[in-house]
Amino acid sequence: MDFLSTLSNSMLEGFLPSGWNLKKIDGCCVYSNEQIFERQNFWNDSFKPVECENINDFNMLMGHEIALEISKTRSEGRKLALILPVGPMGMYRWIVYFLKEWGIDCEHVYSFNMDEWSDSDGNTLDPRESASFQYSMEKAFYEPLGNLSVPKKQRNFATKSNLPEYPQKIMQLKQEGAKLVTVYGIGRIFHIAFWEPHFAQEFSCENEWKKQNYRLGAKLHPLTIEQNAITSFKSRTTLVPCRANTIGPGIFLQSDCAIGGCDGALQRGMNWQAMSLWVTLRHGPDMWIPSSFMPTIPGKLFFLKELAQPMVAECN
């Protein structure tokens, strides 16, 4: 018996995004771990996945990669437009470490948080609240950097008033020669930032979808809410906001480079991100699977080794 044969008249019918080809998605999940490095024809020539033995290696290697981009653009006398996530988070400690060791300041960096919790009108949490992404960024990245930090006037957060200004600010920076680098994680249902798969149903074609720069008060999928309950709210689903402000493909697909991370492993062999990783790497670009476009951009996708293991049933 397989999943597809039991889908009809189940609770999942109408729950999963309607544009998903479930047979194709499942077909991305049947490979052995060594096959994860097999290059696909839709990958950019300068894209590659990077395996990390454990979470400590993952955090350090990803942090080093981001710090290198900051250092290289600094030495080139070039501005850096840096789109940043709150998840993964472990790499921020290492970005701070390397920049301090190298004595590299971030005066040339213009940072843009990719998303933030909101209500239906796009009003965001008070930045003093520990659940807010702005609070998390200040504590994990900006404050620890001290006098090397990104100037406050160059830090952008996805508020109702500021997020709509992202496209013009980034375009202006690129016209001035800035490099646009997006740092990202991949959602349980393949989102980038909080740009969810079900948004695709609103657009008649992929080209229209690709033009979308941002969304205020985006309606999040229940699986995204539950993912965040597990990763950020100690399993307390009732605390997780159901909406968020987020950048869209009109911004992240313009990246000159993208640095991704998949660290979604739990205990006793459980994880929530293996399928997300494999589908991102194997499916091919599809607006119903936003993360499937990331391998088309130059860069690296760091992942925990255990996420590449064969996905077979195992009771824990």
* Sheet with 80-84: strands ordered across: 47-52, 299-304, 257-262, 179-185, 80-84, 109-113, 155-156
Q: What is the pLDDT of residue 32?
A: 86
Question: What is the token pair recorded at 298?
Answer: 């130059």
Q: What's the CATH number where 285 sits? A: 3.40.50.1360
Q: Is position 181 within any domain?
A: yes
Q: Is position 29 within any domain?
A: no
Number of H helices, E strands in the chain: 11, 10
Domains of the chain: total: 1
Q: Is position 23 within any domain?
A: no
Q: Is position 75 within any domain?
A: yes
Q: Is position 5 within any domain?
A: no
Q: What is the pLDDT of residue 142?
A: 98
Per the structure, the complete domain to which residue 105 belongs is given by 46-308
Q: Is position 33 within any domain?
A: no
Reported pTM: 0.96
Q: What is the pLDDT of residue 267?
A: 80
Strand 80-84 vs strand 109-113: parallel, antiparallel, or unpaired? parallel
- Phi, then psi, of 111 in degrees rounded to 5: -100, 145
Write the DSSP string, 113-154. Answer: E-EEEE-TT-PBPPTTSTTSHHHHHIIIIIHHHGGGSPPGGG
pLDDT single digits (tens) 58-105: 999 999 999 999 999 999 999 999 999 999 999 999 999 999 999 999
Distance CA 261, CA 186 (A): 7
Beta strands in the chain (DSSP E): 47-52, 80-84, 109-113, 115-118, 155-156, 179-185, 214-219, 243-247, 257-262, 299-304
Which residues of the chain, if any, have pLDDT below 50? none
Q: What is the pLDDT of residue 212?
A: 98
Write the DSSP string, 259-272. Answer: EEEE--B-STT-BS
Q: Is position 31 within any domain?
A: no
Q: What is the pLDDT of residue 214?
A: 98
Q: Is position 158 within any domain?
A: yes
